[in-house]
Amino acid sequence: MGKATGFLEYDRENATAVAPKERIKNYNEFHTPLTQEKQRIQAARCMNCGVPFCQAGMDIMGMTSGCPLHNLVPEWNDLLYTGNLEQAYHRLKKTNNFPEFTSRVCPALCEAACTCGNWEDPVTCKANEHGIIEYAYEQGYAKANPPKVRTGKRIAVIGSGPAGLAAADQLNKRGHSVTVYEREDRIGGLLMYGIPNMKLEKWVIDRKVDIMKEEGVEFITGANVGKDIKAAKLLKEYDRVILACGAKNPRDIKATGRDAKGIYFAVDFLKATTKSLLDSELKDGKYISAKGKKVVIIGGGDTGNDCVGTAIRHGAVSVTQLEMMPKAPDQRAENNPWPEWPKVCKTDYGQEEAIAQFGHDPRIYQTTVKEFLKDKNGNLSGLVTVQLESKKDEKTGRMQMAEVAGSEKRIDCDMVLIAAGFLGTEDYVAKAFGVKLNERTNVATSAGSYKTNVENVYAAGDTRRGQSLVVWAIREGREVAREVEESLMGYSLLVTQ
């Protein structure tokens, strides 16, 4: 695929990013895509390897290697290189309902598994995907294509994140009538309110949702199923129900002084900012402001990084990020060979901005909170942190992070954002439908299936698997759609990979 000697002739070239101190002045996406000709050269680097690990999506040592959607990466790289962008778009859409989302927010598992990357820089698969889908919109290839025949079957999808949208898109294309229920005021789930605007501008979501509406998908916002809308009503009115409600139960930090004023969950902080930004360009003041605050973020990962970038844009006077785990190595370790997911230190956009703004990396590793400190009015005034080290638990034999005696330190702060991950689905929806939860508090399904214990009720995405990536949510949405169609029709022509 691509040019046979392209990986030898051309160096990797990335889209240009706006300088950190400039981009923190707004909430816009900050990468300038390559020209079509330059993107074509990047596609030429796809090296026609014997085994394209980029599209494998397989589990190696407990981590995913390659794309879980099994995107036909070498094929659309070749089509991009030869200038056949319309066919490249159709190849891309065979496996991915939403390349406009994944080409912006996916961590590019395809690139981490790229054979070229085992020797030098990997192919710019994610940027190539972005070039293909945006060209398709410009040329009208991505326009609405409603089904010509309707089956009369009705499906309700609860939740409009990537899993729910993928399931709705797939089933609608087969002629089934799909209604998506979303409790928020806008469609998109965590794509809309969990991912900041600078990573995914919300017009990108609206553009795709408008096409889905033209194709016949019905969307109902402000519909809190399990509270405002009875589960029994949906089970009576629809042939099948798909639960794709996400995993929004935030993990808390149970430490002395947790009731101090000024401590927020990251998901609430990010959602409030995006909603106020969309409603009023932040003029309504209806968001949790970090302006003038000394902010501490508890937790790493994408959510913690997003909080760093957002707090800086608010005008925080300092930002510190606490991570429980040790700093990962800068290069692959010998026990983490390709094509495993590289367990290396990643400095993301938020940390880059913190370094530019404050002169140092905001992250403090192997550290957690022991106590939240309050002033006489109950306001947060600081933290007591403690250093952690890896020790073997004598009872279980497992390695765990334990406190280092005498390592306590005080950090002055007046805002804390908890970005410690999520524990599972919010149980009120599960209770409303009577579906069982597993030991991880996710909706339980049959082995190798998306069926719950309740007849005609299915679950997919983070609701079923726990907090995960957008690509996994899309894959689950595609797979549950196929299973639902098989249950309705006795067969399915939907392609899942």
72-to-92, 106, 210, 261 alpha-carbon distances in Å:
7, 16, 26, 50
pLDDT of amino acid 1 = 65
- Non-local CB neighbours of 394 within 8 Å, separated by 6+ positions: none
- Non-local CB neighbours of 316 within 8 Å, separated by 6+ positions: 290, 291, 292, 293, 294, 295, 415
DSSP string computed for 124-182: -HHHHHHHHHHHHHHHTTTS----S-----EEEEE--SHHHHHHHHHHHHTT-EEEEE-
CA count, 13 A, side-chain hemisphere, 321: 31
- Non-local CB neighbours of 360 within 8 Å, separated by 6+ positions: 354
State whether residue 489 is helix, strand or coil.
helix
pLDDT of amino acid 497 = 67
Q: What pLDDT digit, counting tens, does each position of 435-493 carry?
A: 999 998 999 999 999 999 999 999 999 999 999 999 999 999 999 999 999 999 999 99
Segments in the chain below pLDDT 50:
none
Rg (CA), the chain: 23
pLDDT of amino acid 150 = 98
**Nearest-CA neighbor of 46 among 15, 68, 71?**
71
CB 401 within 8 A of CB 324: yes
The pTM of the full predicted model, rounded to 2 decimals, is: 0.96
- Ordered domains of the chain (ranges, CATH): 6-139 (1.10.1060.10), 154-247+423-489 (3.50.50.60), 252-420 (3.50.50.60)
pLDDT of amino acid 426 = 87
200-to-28, 53, 94, 187 alpha-carbon distances in Å:
8, 27, 23, 14
CB 372 within 8 A of CB 380: yes
